[in-house]
Structure 1
């Protein structure tokens, strides 16, 4: 089987079991919701839990602000879905128990009695139960995602935002994100200009002065000394120019991929960097670029301001997203509104991701980014 097919099959199986677990929780909370709807107390809180459960085990539901009356109406109807889920789970468990019993009776001869004509009871029962049992198991297995979809539909129908309101909200988000991306690009251009002006340009000026002095000198010993200084300055200028080019876009990312780019970043860092990249396949150029710059900026920010002994980087794939966590054991107190980190937040938000900085005084500092996969 192709690797992508294997990953897809594993993803489907994990998704099914995730929905099954959500269905079990939903069956329990369905009865509780009926009682809460009748009493009235805690309806909004339980509805918030139901929405978080649906998001955790299926997909997020976009809703209007919750009200007590709306939550009570939702819970008064939702117990039916919970009961349906409980029925599917009971049928699934019942037929699995029967299947296990049949296999046990078939394996251990003599467990069940023989009938008068000599036919073995387990063999006959296996023939009678196998086909309808397989059909019931198939139906109940398909019923798990079906009930999960019904659960999400009910929440969307009774609590969700209308399509027009959701579209307006999305347009507003995209407009805001576009403005923030433009601002981030301008900030990046200004930083590149400062790097070129304060670093590379100054070294080139110094190199020109050294060459000019070398041309005017009559002393061979001073000439050699000036040429050595010019050579050293030229080497330093090339190194700094490479650093600026890497900060603009690392060529190794295109040549060798994200894993090698992160390794090169760790090797060039002034602090020890431990990288745990769990990605089994390339997520695409756009996401690789975002992930690289999140790690790069976080590591540089830690080395410059936090004085850590080690920075730990973890890149972990999810069902439909990728999580990047960068943690250092430095002094903490990182400013999330600073130029570097705020630029990262805008870069992550441009791909509909989430970005968070947790940095109490005294450390540790944890930078968390989640980017959705295409």
Structure 2
């Protein structure tokens, strides 16, 4: 516990010195920003520098896209904060200099030129000045933090979005995403029901009828023919049931990982599929599932609607996210609002990802999914 307290105090001190350095630079750039705003030259670049300075020495500011007018207005006001910071820093430096001078004079018998006892600065004088001096030093020290907060607040208020607004937007986004996920789950359930009803169930009904006919067969030749048809129908039912189960969740993803799951997807596809997976390690079950279903749905859509000669699946990591791209050379025209692609968009959005479809008439079609990861 004592070590944690020391680390916390050290962090506070380092943070204060960072703010002090940031304000010192900001005191100079405030006047430069005022000059830029006055002549309306380089205001966007100067604003970007100020935002970078705040992010480096304090915390990043969430801003909207910068405009020339907004940047000019911000710089026309920001010099006041820079001047205030310069005043606080100057006052802090002055009082620290006074304190150091008094202590030095008392220790080394210096000539102070004020109230003296002979040639010595008295303890009474130091005590008399110490209390108000300490208060002023404390206020100016805290003032560094206050001006830094004001600096960040001004940038947020004039150029960006406050933390409270971001939080409200995030809550609204999560509420919407939750509703979309529930809708996507319901759509998937209805799709599974249709697959079972129109596919597997019909095969099983046909299988039952074939077995019934075989039981009533009058000759060995007719019996063998019906049994052969029943065996073929049973195999088709098993294949369709396996296909439905794979669409629900591919077991190979848990058993062997994403690489093998994508290879199995390519082997089962009716079109040629080429895979490029640059992930060196597993990003986690949740992201692997999303990556797989993006690839699977995109390949199935291409094979069903675009008549491509090849589909390319590419997966690669970047700082902070994973990108999945599925490209095909079909005749394009894919509808992002269709059942399959809109379901994919909801699935990607559920993990805070972004989804994009580019499919002009005549092709090619490119599907991008960017998934945030640690």
Tell me which interval the TM-score lies in, with the shorter structure as reference length: 0.5 to 0.7
Q: Distance between the aligned counterparts of 2:341 and 2:46, measured in 1?
A: 36
TM-aligned CA deviation for residue 73 of structure 1? 4.0
In the alignment, structure 1 residue 290 sits paired with structure 2 residue 290: yes
Deviates more, 1:282-291 or 1:36-45: 36-45
The structure having more radius of gyration, on CA atoms, is 2
TM-aligned CA deviation for residue 313 of structure 1? 1.0
Partner of 1:223: 223
Partner of 2:98: none
Q: How does 1:66-105 map to 2 (within 5 A)?
A: 70-75=70-75
TM-score normalised per structure 1: 0.65
2:218 aligns to what SS in structure 1? coil
- CA-to-partner distance for each residue in 1:235-265, whole Å, 9 max, x for gaps? 0100010000000000000000001101110
Q: Distance between the aligned counterparts of 1:289 and 1:257, measured in 2?
A: 10
Q: How does 1:110-129 map to 2 (within 5 A)?
A: none
Shift of the 65–278 alpha-carbon distance from structure 1 to 2, 3 Å rule, reads closer
Partner of 1:365: 365
- CA-to-partner distance for each residue in 1:266-295, whole Å, 9 max, x for gaps? 111111111100000000000000000000
Deviates more, 1:234-243 or 1:43-52: 43-52
Shift of the 318–197 alpha-carbon distance from structure 1 to 2, 3 Å rule, reads same
2:221 aligns to what SS in structure 1? helix
TM-score normalised per structure 2: 0.65
Shift of the 235–47 alpha-carbon distance from structure 1 to 2, 3 Å rule, reads farther
Structure 2 unmatched runs, 5+: 1-29, 83-150
TM-aligned CA deviation for residue 167 of structure 1? 1.0
Q: How does 1:160-309 map to 2 (within 5 A)?
A: 160-309=160-309
Q: Distance between the aligned counterparts of 1:152 and 1:307, measured in 2?
A: 55
- CA-to-partner distance for each residue in 1:41-94, whole Å, 9 max, x for gaps? 785799699989x99xxx98533586765421445659x99xxxxxxxxxxxxx
**8 Å contact kept, 2:331–2:361:** yes
Q: How does 1:24-173 map to 2 (within 5 A)?
A: 37-40=37-40, 61-63=61-63, 70-75=70-75, 155-156=155-156, 159-173=159-173
Shift of the 45–222 alpha-carbon distance from structure 1 to 2, 3 Å rule, reads farther
Structure 1 unmatched runs, 5+: 1-29, 82-150
Shift of the 284–36 alpha-carbon distance from structure 1 to 2, 3 Å rule, reads same
Shift of the 286–71 alpha-carbon distance from structure 1 to 2, 3 Å rule, reads same
Shift of the 189–35 alpha-carbon distance from structure 1 to 2, 3 Å rule, reads farther
Q: Distance between the aligned counterparts of 2:33 and 2:359, measured in 1?
A: 39
Q: How does 1:307-322 map to 2 (within 5 A)?
A: 307-322=307-322
Q: Distance between the aligned counterparts of 2:32 and 2:187, measured in 1?
A: 53
Q: Distance between the aligned counterparts of 2:335 and 2:284, measured in 1?
A: 30
**8 Å contact kept, 2:210–2:229:** yes
- CA-to-partner distance for each residue in 1:277-330, whole Å, 9 max, x for gaps? 000000000000000000000010011111111111110101110000111111
1:211 aligns to what SS in structure 2? helix
In the alignment, structure 1 residue 347 sits paired with structure 2 residue 347: yes
- CA-to-partner distance for each residue in 1:138-189, whole Å, 9 max, x for gaps? xxxxxxxxxxxxx999854752322211111110000000000000001101
RMSD: 3.4
2:176 aligns to what SS in structure 1? helix
Shift of the 49–214 alpha-carbon distance from structure 1 to 2, 3 Å rule, reads farther
Shift of the 229–350 alpha-carbon distance from structure 1 to 2, 3 Å rule, reads same
Q: Distance between the aligned counterparts of 1:311 and 1:373, measured in 2?
A: 26
Q: Distance between the aligned counterparts of 2:204 and 2:264, measured in 1?
A: 27
Shift of the 328–167 alpha-carbon distance from structure 1 to 2, 3 Å rule, reads same
Partner of 2:86: none
